[in-house]
Chain A
Amino acid sequence: MAVVGRRFSRLSLPAKLFAVGLPVLLVAGILTVAVLILALPLVVSAAEDNLPLVRFLVAVVAVLLLTVPTAFLVIYLELKLIARMNLRIGPDRVGPFGAAQSVIHGLKVLTKEDFTPSGADRLVFTWAPVVVFMATVMTLLVIPFAPGLFGTDFNIGLLYVFAIGGLTIVGLLMAGWASFNKYSLLGGLRSAAQAISYEIPLSLSVVGVVILAGTLSLNQLVLNQAGSFLDWYVWQQPLGVLIFFIAAVAEANRTPFDLTEADSEIVAGFATEYSGMRFGFFFFAEYVNVFVVSALLVTLFFGGWTAPFDWPFPIEAPLDPGSLGITLLFLLAVVPVVATLLFALPFWLGRSSTPFWQALIIGFVIFNIVAVAAVLGWAFVSFDWVVGLLWFMAKSYVFVFVLVWMRATLPRVRVDQLMGFAWKWLLPAALLNLFVTASAVVILAELQ
């Protein structure tokens, strides 16, 4: 035993990890395989019986996995775009054009010291970021990203979105109260007041759309806007889209309504006492919220995943790989080799300084790029959900850009001016919009 211990301590760190990890992995792998072999038929039959549940679980996992890259992308966009608007460059060291900056921010936030201030209410303090983050993420479940690509087709989807979105207020209040800090308390109260004030115009502004569509289901709303861009609800509800946009920016705590995190006033507002991953939750939740707000705007008013004109794709391509049979295997074996050689040849023949093996590597890389591009192109052409997803993302990111642009340009509104604006201007405007829409619908129905 002592001999083993001595020899173990002489190994380098990677070797130690290897020496410990490999037997553990082997044992775990064998166990897993055994369990799977024994249990797989049971699992498969259970899944087949509850297909919607399985689908839902997959959707939930996908949405959770989607939030972090989305947050990373939105953070990166914000840093770079605001920098460009400020005549600066923005992050450009950490990856190609600074693209890995957000990832590094994420890692940094994970490695910071995580503490609870003395005097703080531990339970509430710990759960506040969770509430805020989950409330933001759960709204993504009902948004249709593409035909057939949504978490669940709730027939009260829109109501669900606003209900869950209201949970963020609870989270902010929890954070502000539990921090045992006057700044946090002020920030939490301010944010609660702001969010509550803007909930009402937000909900009222989409009632016009609901009246026009006759349904609360987001999927159905998008399908109603299919066709061309003239079918989008933005033309039929111009005031509604304006009110929704302003109220949604206020709900997302973005400038000019970002006094909850007004960092030149009350330092970090409700998040003053948070550090490490808890702060990371708030941070990510804010940026996912930016995406959610844009996604909602696009879904409700700008056609969701529908294309603005008659998009000829998807084409039913007369390509059926399965019909090739054994030729498929043969092709899969031969084509990569042939293609690699083909792409390598110009480099080997054209430049005398390139050894053959280097040319082969270059050829392989080029083959990979071409193959991936071909597969993506084929997917784009033949699967309508790829097309829909791309259109949805493009439109959403246009509005993400607009939100980031607003942050770079506008100063902050004062809290009483903000509340005054919500109650005295947006609420009457939303009611007016509702009234006009409803009367228009009734009158047009009478006329026909």
Chain B
Amino acid sequence: MTATRQPTDDSARYDIPAHASADDPRVLLEEQIGVYEPVPPFPPRTEREAEFYTVGDGEMLINIGPHHPSTHGVMRIVMKIDGEKVVDLDPVLGYLHRGVEKICENADFHQTITHLDPLEYVSSLFCEWPAVMAYEKLLDVEVPRRAEYIRVLSGELNRISSHALAIGFHALDLGGLTPILYSFIERDEIVEMLAALTGQRMLFNYFRIGGVNGDLNHEFMSRLGDWMSRATTEINANLGLLNENEIFVRRNRGLGTIDTETALRMCWTGPNLRATGLPFDLRRAHPYSVYPELDFDIPTRAEGDSLARYLLRVDEIKQSLRIIDQCLQQMPDGPVMAKLPRLLRPRPGRAWAGIEGPRGEYGVYAVSDGTDQPFRFRIHDPSFLHLQSFNLLIPGNLMADWMAVNASLDPIMGGVDK
């Protein structure tokens, strides 16, 4: 677009401090390092920053993260606390920002699928799904029904494994060491199944434009059948470890309560929104794939607190099992991939696709300009918006409550930071 610019040397414009180390003028020496206050480098640039970084009497700023066992990834929260009580929060993101959107602008349509897996890495299939749906809209491709059923089947398996992980980490963040290992039993089996199907245990790279990459095989079906026969009892036993634990319930009940109206204003979706009472599920609200043919309920809970979100995830696992059952019974025969040219050049246009992932609405907006690379590839991640609500949910509670709320919202920083 513009002519090549030469790199400019701005060192003269910058304020290099007088005491520099002998070998490297940019390194600060020990005596300059005072108290490590997480202050911003500039004078406050926005209203909110000024409000937050003004520390009142008895308050102190403390960093949670980025190295922290409970931040579900690499995230930094600057907390203003008054003793143990949290007064305000400022999440700082970007530690895991990989520039995926920019990378995808320079990659073929097929290559972008691989770039999307590591976003919400625990539920990778749901990261690929809206992208392939958007491309199929751009290319006007009809996906074979068998491929759709396989997508739903593998997607629901991934949903179960993602919820199991979320539940386990919820318990771990509150101090229980055991439930995570029990929920990882489920996740382990599902991950092995999906490895038999897709070839990978975690970042599956399975969905393709126009279908999926390979049909069901014997190993997958045998593992799946084996697991389905004991799934309900196992899930009830393993994942119900905490439902009635007094300590767990008391730490979660009434915490981080949000009502539906506020949740809609904060653009929440997914189980977090359904836990406030609104049965908004994209699989029913805006049906895609073969979900109209499948019979399942949308669990909701009315309280809107952390315990409701936790219990809702357990309910959703049960619904997913129903869906998997129906998929297996109704699976049609046919091809698993539509016939497409190898080099894809869609007409210039725009397409949006949103699906119901385990954390909420996961969306992709793809703009094509007629070449074989997307012109603009926008990824919308649900956890990004859930993290924004910390300022509503946590002030007034204790620092330990931040762990409980964070774990119940189930963010995945890979998706948040893209």
Among B174, B182, B245, B251, the one with the most A-chain Cβ atoms within 10 Å of its Cβ is B174
Q: List 30 A-B contacts (CB under 8 A).
A: A86-B182, A87-B185, A118-B30, A182-B60, A183-B62, A190-B84, A259-B175, A262-B175, A262-B400, A263-B69, A264-B70, A264-B172, A264-B174, A264-B403, A265-B399, A266-B399, A267-B69, A410-B247, A411-B171, A411-B175, A411-B176, A412-B174, A412-B175, A412-B176, A412-B247, A414-B398, A414-B400, A415-B84, A416-B84, A417-B250
A412: chain B residues at CB < 8 Å are 174-176, 247, 251, 400
Q: Which single member of B172, B177, B245, B400 contacts A408 (CB below 8 Å)?
A: B177
A186: chain B residues at CB < 8 Å are 62, 84, 399
Given A182-B60, A258-B175, A264-B403: A413 in contact with B247 (beta carbons within 8 A): yes
Q: Which single member of A85, A262, A414, A416 contacts B178 (CB below 8 Å)?
A: A85
| CB of B410 within 8 Å of the partner chain | no
CB closest chain-B residue, reference A193: B84
A409: chain B residues at CB < 8 Å are 176, 178
Main secondary structure of the interface of A (DSSP, over half): loop
| CB of A269 within 8 Å of the partner chain | no
Given A183-B62, A264-B403: A88 in contact with B181 (beta carbons within 8 A): yes
A413: chain B residues at CB < 8 Å are 247, 251
Closest 4 CB pairs of A and B: A412-B175, A411-B176, A86-B181, A411-B174
- CA–CA, A267 and B70, complex, Å: 9
| CB of B381 within 8 Å of the partner chain | no
| CB of B33 within 8 Å of the partner chain | yes
Spell out A's residues near B (CB within 8 Å): 82, 85-88, 118, 182-183, 186, 190, 255-256, 258-259, 262-267, 407-417
CB closest chain-B residue, reference A262: B175
A417: chain B residues at CB < 8 Å are 250-251
| CB interface residues, B 165-213, toward A, < 8 Å | 171-178, 181-182, 185
B400: chain A residues at CB < 8 Å are 259, 262, 265, 412, 414-415
Given A182-B60, A259-B400, A414-B251: A264 in contact with B33 (beta carbons within 8 A): no
- CA–CA, A364 and B263, complex, Å: 78
CB closest chain-B residue, reference A408: B178
A88-B181, A265-B70, A410-B247 given; 19 more Cβ-contact pairs under 8 Å:
A87-B185, A182-B60, A255-B175, A256-B175, A256-B247, A259-B400, A264-B69, A264-B70, A264-B174, A265-B399, A265-B403, A266-B399, A267-B68, A407-B177, A410-B176, A411-B171, A412-B251, A416-B398, A417-B251
CB closest chain-A residue, reference B238: A87
CB closest chain-A residue, reference B69: A264
B178: chain A residues at CB < 8 Å are 85-86, 408-409
A189–chain B nearest beta-carbon distance, Å? 8
Q: Could you tell me if B398 and A415 are in contact, using CB atoms closer than 8 angstroms?
A: yes
- CA–CA, A414 and B173, complex, Å: 12
B401: chain A residues at CB < 8 Å are 414
| CB of B291 within 8 Å of the partner chain | no
Q: Could you tell me if B177 and A86 are in contact, using CB atoms closer than 8 angstroms?
A: yes
| CB of B288 within 8 Å of the partner chain | no
A407–chain B nearest beta-carbon distance, Å? 7
| CB of B248 within 8 Å of the partner chain | yes
- CA–CA, A194 and B28, complex, Å: 40
| CB interface residues, B 131-190, toward A, < 8 Å | 171-178, 181-182, 185
- CA–CA, A272 and B62, complex, Å: 15
Q: Which single member of A190, A266, A411 contacts B251 (CB below 8 Å)?
A: A411
A183: chain B residues at CB < 8 Å are 62
B71–chain A nearest beta-carbon distance, Å? 10
A262: chain B residues at CB < 8 Å are 175, 400
A265: chain B residues at CB < 8 Å are 70, 399-400, 403
Q: Could you tell me if B68 and A410 are in contact, using CB atoms closer than 8 angstroms?
A: no
Among A256, A262, A265, A409, the one with the most B-chain Cβ atoms within 10 Å of its Cβ is A265
Q: Could you tell me if A118 and B33 are in contact, using CB atoms closer than 8 angstroms?
A: yes
| CB interface residues, B 215-262, toward A, < 8 Å | 242, 245, 247-248, 250-251
- CA–CA, A259 and B401, complex, Å: 13
A123–chain B nearest beta-carbon distance, Å? 20
A269–chain B nearest beta-carbon distance, Å? 12
Among A258, A413, A414, the one with the most B-chain Cβ atoms within 10 Å of its Cβ is A414
Given A256-B175, A267-B69: A411 in contact with B403 (beta carbons within 8 A): no
- CA–CA, A409 and B182, complex, Å: 12
Given A82-B177, A183-B62, A264-B69: A87 in contact with B398 (beta carbons within 8 A): no
Among B62, B177, B245, B403, the one with the most A-chain Cβ atoms within 10 Å of its Cβ is B177
B242: chain A residues at CB < 8 Å are 411
Q: Could you tell me if B181 and A87 are in contact, using CB atoms closer than 8 angstroms?
A: yes
B241–chain A nearest beta-carbon distance, Å? 9
Q: Could you tell me if A410 and B403 are in contact, using CB atoms closer than 8 angstroms?
A: no
A118: chain B residues at CB < 8 Å are 30, 33
Per-residue A-contact encoding for B320-360, CB less than 8 Å = 1, 0 else: 00000000000000000000000000000000000000000
CB closest chain-A residue, reference B60: A182
- CA–CA, A119 and B278, complex, Å: 53
Among A88, A186, A411, the one with the most B-chain Cβ atoms within 10 Å of its Cβ is A411
- CA–CA, A218 and B403, complex, Å: 43
A267: chain B residues at CB < 8 Å are 68-69
B172: chain A residues at CB < 8 Å are 264
| CB interface residues, B 82-103, toward A, < 8 Å | 84
B171: chain A residues at CB < 8 Å are 411
B30: chain A residues at CB < 8 Å are 118
- CA–CA, A428 and B171, complex, Å: 31
- CA–CA, A267 and B403, complex, Å: 12
B177: chain A residues at CB < 8 Å are 82, 86, 407-408
B176: chain A residues at CB < 8 Å are 409-412
A407: chain B residues at CB < 8 Å are 177
A266: chain B residues at CB < 8 Å are 399
- CA–CA, A251 and B413, complex, Å: 37
CB closest chain-B residue, reference A87: B181
- CA–CA, A182 and B38, complex, Å: 12
- CA–CA, A223 and B30, complex, Å: 61
| CB interface residues, B 248-284, toward A, < 8 Å | 248, 250-251
A85: chain B residues at CB < 8 Å are 178
Q: Could you tell me if A411 and B245 are in contact, using CB atoms closer than 8 angstroms?
A: yes
B384–chain A nearest beta-carbon distance, Å? 23
A132–chain B nearest beta-carbon distance, Å? 22
- CA–CA, A266 and B401, complex, Å: 12
A415: chain B residues at CB < 8 Å are 84, 398, 400
